[in-house]
Amino acid sequence: MEVSNRETRIAREYHDRTAHSPSSVRTSSHALAWDIKPFPFKVYTDLPPLALPREVDPLPIDTLAALAAGPKGAAARVTLADLTALLYYAAGVTKKKTYAGGGEVLFRAAPSTGALYQTEAYVAVGRVDGLEPGLYHFCPGDFALRCLRAGDVRAFLAHAVADETIARRAATVLLTAIYWRNTWKYQARGYRHLFWDSGTLLAHLLEVGSALGLAPRLYAGFVDAAVSRALGVDAEREAVLELVALGPEGAPAPPVASVEDRRHPYLPLSSSEVDYPLLHEIHAASMLATPDDVRVWREAGRGLGGRVSANVVEEGGPRALVALPAPREASGRVLGETIQQRGSTRQFSHASLSAAELATALWAATRPIDADVPAGLVDLYLIVNAVDGVTSGAYWYRPEAHALELLAAGHYRNESAYLCLEQPLGGDAAAVIYFLAPLARILPVLGNRGYRLANLEAGIAGGRAYLAAYAQGFGASGLTFYDRHVVEFFSSHAAGKDAIFVVALGRGAGSGRVTIGTTPSRPRRPSA
């Protein structure tokens, strides 16, 4: 039985049933089955690789200047070198770590939960100098494209996206996620991770695309089944998440009446897989069936306008704002170097950040992007542990004022570690950003697909915070959390919202790190 996007109980139930609590974590019987850990690359076995150039644009623009530039017009053309740089800095392999015993992990440009890298990248090419029109898959493992379908499919995609400009743009990147790569570790909760991880990848792709003059535009609204058919992916195992149009507009692509479901074999990920019906249910319930559905959904999103999660003034009147320094205009580290040096920090010291460093990360996280969906679905709450010039305590960030609203002063390292699934990283960090969203206001307007958007916006914002952190010479790490306890900690201000994602910021620790301990106390609520 098909479930409509409007039946929002599905998203609500999924969120609640996949929430972490001390009880759910301690009673879980899930163990990692290393013998069936999924292979980290999708490799089509019947398609020859088209090797991409190994000389990649160093992206010499300063990272913070790139973040500040925002959306701008497209360059006159898109080249294979442009596409190569875009794919490398968004989804390419940038580091290799070898472990005792010979094991190795190939780390990629953008963060991914558990370094599992379930996000796959495809490209629909229309006018790219040096590349024939067609639909390609990008494999980071051998840094190559493989042509899944020859010919120009942009008109077909434009129909599925309900936006004819797609047929005139030079190319479109399509992001998907292979469920099993993430659910192997995170089970049904992994659906949230699909959007956190594609969001952090998009943070890179959008900034790199802008730096290259490709004028990227993000699309989250499309006919899911049609795009899956064009890619030839098994929708039971791999979900289409987002599309990004690139390059200048030109003559429209020739019309395509239909696209047959053509599938190519690829290397198996593992000898067996575990299925999670709850994940399939939320994804199916958030699909759009026709271009008209896409148009209606997109128009409803425009009606949200502004910051959805703006709060009603609480009893006692508004609190005083803590002004933040202006964001830094330059970091001294160019965008290409920042991405190549980026990595998730595994240990934080208790060293402080400056107020300007924190202010720049918060500003970067909330910069506007060119997209078909509304912004402002997610609020940024913080626990500040060690920021020079900012009193330790719990805060709400006000992007329009570039200021913090103090909810409660106090030392909350223990509480923050507890909220972050009792991980010391959450207490050792100088500041921790908790992304919360008012699902009760989002879902009635955008349906179950609004749940995708809340997680995606948090992922993009987190990815931009990462970039700003590494550009300035400190670290970041994405964390999971105890859902209800995060909301309780920031209430009454956060009452009625839902915890979505967490990113910790701080300076990396040496071997002499002092930690907050491994058994933090139950968090207490900030006082009014």
* Digit-coded pLDDT (tens) for 47-86: 999 999 999 999 999 999 999 987 777 788 999 999 999 9
Cβ atoms of residues 233 and 176 within 8 Å: yes
**Looking at this protein, which amino acid is placed at residue 265?**
P
Taking the C-alpha atoms of residue 187 and residue 191, their distance in angstroms, rounded to an integer, is 8
The whole-number pLDDT of residue 318 equals: 63
Model confidence at 27: pLDDT above 50: yes
Which pTM value belongs to this model? 0.95
**Residue 281 burial (CB count, 10 A):** 18
The helix-helix angle for 154-161 and 224-231 (nearest 10°) equals: 160
The helix-helix angle for 291-304 and 154-161 (nearest 10°) equals: 50
433 vs 302, higher pLDDT: 433
**Looking at this protein, which amino acid is placed at residue 24?**
S
Predicted confidence (pLDDT) per residue in 468-521, tens digit: 999 999 999 999 999 999 999 999 999 999 999 999 999 998 644 444 443 344
304 vs 478, higher pLDDT: 478
Model confidence at 410: pLDDT above 80: yes
Model confidence at 522: pLDDT above 70: no
The whole-number pLDDT of residue 307 equals: 66
The whole-number pLDDT of residue 100 equals: 73
Name the fold adopted by 44-290.
Answer: NADH Oxidase (3.40.109)
Model confidence at 319: pLDDT above 80: no
The whole-number pLDDT of residue 454 equals: 98
Q: How confident is the model at residue 97 (pLDDT cuts 50, 70, 90)?
A: confident
Average pLDDT of 443-468?
A: 98
The whole-number pLDDT of residue 523 equals: 56
Find tokens 């990692």 and name the residue. 32
Written as six digits, the tokens of 255 are 């019309």
Please state the three-class secondary structure of 15-83 as a single string: HHHCCCCHHHHHHCCCCCCHHHCCCCCCCECCCCCEECCCCCCCCCCEHHHHHHHCCCCCCCCCEHHHH
Segments of the chain assigned to CATH 3.40.109.10: 44-290, 321-506
Strand 238-249 and strand 498-506: the pairing is unpaired
Q: How confident is the model at residue 409 (pLDDT cuts 50, 70, 90)?
A: very high
How does the average pLDDT of the chain come out, rounded? Answer: 93
317 vs 469, higher pLDDT: 469
Cβ atoms of residues 171 and 83 within 8 Å: yes
What percentage of the chain carries pLDDT values higher than 70? 93
Cβ atoms of residues 490 and 394 within 8 Å: yes
The whole-number pLDDT of residue 315 equals: 46
The whole-number pLDDT of residue 520 equals: 43
88 vs 308, higher pLDDT: 88
Taking the C-alpha atoms of residue 243 and residue 227, their distance in angstroms, rounded to an integer, is 10
Of 401, 386, 383, 366, nearest to 509 (Cα)?
A: 386
DSSP of 203-228, one letter per residue? HHHHHHHHHTT---EEE--S-HHHHH
Name the fold adopted by 321-506.
Answer: NADH Oxidase (3.40.109)
Model confidence at 311: pLDDT above 70: no
The whole-number pLDDT of residue 45 equals: 97
